[in-house]
Amino acid sequence: MNWHEVIDERSHAMHQVIADILRRSPEELSQVTAWIGKRMADPVYSVQAKEALQEWLEVIQTEGVNGVLNVLDDRGEEAARMRQSTPFAVLMPQDKRLEILEHYESRRTRAHPAGV
């Protein structure tokens, strides 16, 4: 497994924590939409980042929590791409984040460089 694959696995693990939070408390999604709204209104926030947030906002508005959970759970390339521009960090407990980062950092030495 190369380091990029490890990063994708790490992102998926973090988003599973977010998915668990949303399953228990779907109303927490309002924090995410508020965060997105602030970034979308910020004139200095990059256009590319706004496009990624708009994509998430469309999932939230058209498919609700279930649609978000589908993307967070999905192991496909499209979902992995979307998770690279996640608006869900606002929900991530810091202790869980650090735990996951430490776990995956320990795999760095065993990972092969990309393309190898």
In three-state secondary structure terms, 2 is strand
d(C-alpha 30, C-alpha 20), whole Å: 16
Q: At what angle do helices 29-41 and 47-73 cross, to 10 degrees?
A: 160
Q: What is the pTM of this model?
A: 0.85
What mean pLDDT, rounded, does the chain reach?
Answer: 91
| pLDDT tens, residue by residue, 23-59 | 999 999 999 999 999 999 999 999 999 999 999 999 9
d(CA 3, CA 38): 33
